[in-house]
A and B are shown apart, each in its own frame.
Chain A
């Protein structure tokens, strides 16, 4: 599994320019396409994390939305044709404008793809994930976790997958021990013979 950057933009100048900035600053795989439809060619299972840099005009494009849903970790960056962009968009995680410096671009990509190992907060669970983990450790099924958190079973499964990916711990007994160590549950919460 690897990380990569994908640039989707109709302009040759923009694609070539961003690709050059990235290649000069980070050793990362860069793929370039001129239309979002070409994203379908990408072997998604191969990449565990992606930075997708695309023209702001592809806001809410269906192919891109699917891409977000099907990639474990993804950062979607819009490219605005304005000199400065203050617009924050729900669809884009961040926006680069024509005046964004090459340092800013490289730093942003590096940080997300974890090139700066000092930034090692990637195994930090979100509050929601901690809540799901707590219920897993207490022996709840996906269905009962979904019911008590008012979310779909599908969402529970997706949280579980993220938890496992972040922690590198896959079995339920292993997750239970993790929850005890991190004080997400206390030893007395669990019936020893049943759970660990």
Chain B
């Protein structure tokens, strides 16, 4: 699989993998690339181009995971990216899935409980995910920022950091949602809406797995290392 480089044209990244659109957007880079390269656009938007290229490559190819390279970036840079991803989930992905799921429920015949229970399942899943995101943003990320910027202020407070279990559960449920729709619902609803919904869920799943991977394999090891050095 192709590995992107800094002298590639930004437009060619999108042609190679359009799923990168929101990733690039998360860095604040807007369309209208002209023939500018990754390096040129990163300079224009004041983005660390090494970090950018590591993120797009690891998103593009799950086997490409430059742990050492990524581990060398400041946790602050990574937190900033993770927060932007959270915002994208909260403002765009989750409402999008929710809206389509609701449309689907409305399109199924009256008295059919299937879609209603699937919708409830999703709403409960969303609650758990939002709680997890809030926990990271309100407790974990500030702790890490404090650990780096003013270590003396958080004497002896070791935070237990492991998301793997929670991430695992979150992944399971989104996979279940897919399987329920694909394998076990009666096709009495609007098929086109359901297809769009599934495509959106697949996209979201890819995004969230990538996100969890960065947290579990990059951010947490970095923080553990800093904690152990103290």
Stretch binding the partner chain, chosen from A32-40, A110-118, A178-186: A178-186
The complex places the Cα of A167 from the Cα of B184 at a distance, in Å, of 9
Residues in B with CB closer than 8 Å to A123 are: 183
Which 6 A-B residue pairings sit nearest by Cβ, starting from the closest? A174-B176, A168-B179, A180-B117, A171-B172, A177-B121, A171-B173
| Residue of B114, B121, B184, B186 touching A173 (CB-CB under 8 A) | B121
- CB-CB contacts below 8 Å: A153-177 with B: 167-171, 173-174, 176-177
**Which residues of chain B come closer than 8 Å to A174, judged between CB atoms?**
121, 172-173, 176-177, 179-180
The reply to whether B117 and A187 form a contact with Cβ atoms under 8 Å apart is yes
Decide if B120 is an interface residue (CB 8 Å cutoff).
yes
6 example contacts (A-B, Cβ-Cβ < 8 A) are as follows: A171-B169, A174-B172, A177-B176, A181-B114, A192-B120, A196-B120
Given A181-B114, A181-B117, A187-B117, A169 and B124 contact (CB-CB distance below 8 Å): no
Known: A181-B117, A187-B113. A173 touches B183 (CB 8 A): no
Contact residues of B: prevailing secondary structure:
helix
Taking a contact as CB atoms closer than 8 A, the residue among B169, B176, B185 that contacts A181 in the complex is: B185
Residues of A102-125 contacting chain B, CB below 8 A: 123
For residue A114, give the distance in angstroms from its CB to the closest CB of chain B. Answer: 15
> Total A-B pairs in contact (CB under 8 Å)?
56
**Residues of B within 8 A of A (CB-CB), count:** 21
From B114, which residue of chain A is reached at the shortest CB distance?
Answer: A181
> Could you tell me the distance between the alpha carbons of A36 and B162 in the complex, rounded to whole angstroms?
45
A196, B117: Cβ atoms closer than 8 Å: yes
Q: Which residues of B contact A168 (CB under 8 A)?
A: 179, 183
Contacts of A187 in B (CB 8 A): 113, 116-117
Q: Chain A: interface secondary structure?
A: helix
Contact across chains for A177 and B118 when beta carbons are under 8 A apart: yes
Whole-angstrom distance from the CB of A13 to the nearest CB of chain B?
45
A139 to chain B, nearest CB (A): 14
Which chain A residues border B19 with CB–CB below 8 Å? none
Q: Is B175 an interface residue (CB 8 A)?
A: yes
- Nearest Cβ on chain B to A165's Cβ, whole angstroms: 12
Within the complex, the shortest CB–CB distance from A185 to chain B, in Å, comes to 10
B125 interfacial contact with A, CB 8 Å: yes
Q: Nearest chain B CB to A120's CB is how many angstroms away?
A: 11
Cβ-defined contact, A181 with B180, below 8 A: yes
- Measured between beta carbons, the chain B residues less than 8 angstroms from A177 are 117-118, 120-121, 176, 180
Given A178-B184, A181-B184, A182-B184 in contact, is the A169-B179 Cβ separation under 8 Å? yes
A189 to B: closest C-beta gap in Å: 12
Shortest Cβ distance from residue B149 to the other chain A in the assembled complex, whole angstroms: 38
B176/A173 in contact, CB under 8 A: yes
Which A residues are CB-close (under 8 A) to B116?
Answer: 187
Of chain B, the residue at the smallest CB distance from A170 is B172
Q: Which residues of A have CB within 8 Å of B117?
A: 176-177, 180-181, 187, 196
Cα distance A123–B180 when bound, in Å?
13
Q: Are A180 and B176 in contact (CB under 8 A)?
A: no
> Assuming A171-B169, A173-B121, A177-B118, what are 15 further A-B pairs, CB within 8 angstroms?
A169-B179, A169-B180, A170-B172, A170-B175, A171-B173, A173-B124, A174-B121, A174-B172, A174-B176, A174-B179, A176-B121, A177-B117, A180-B114, A180-B117, A181-B114
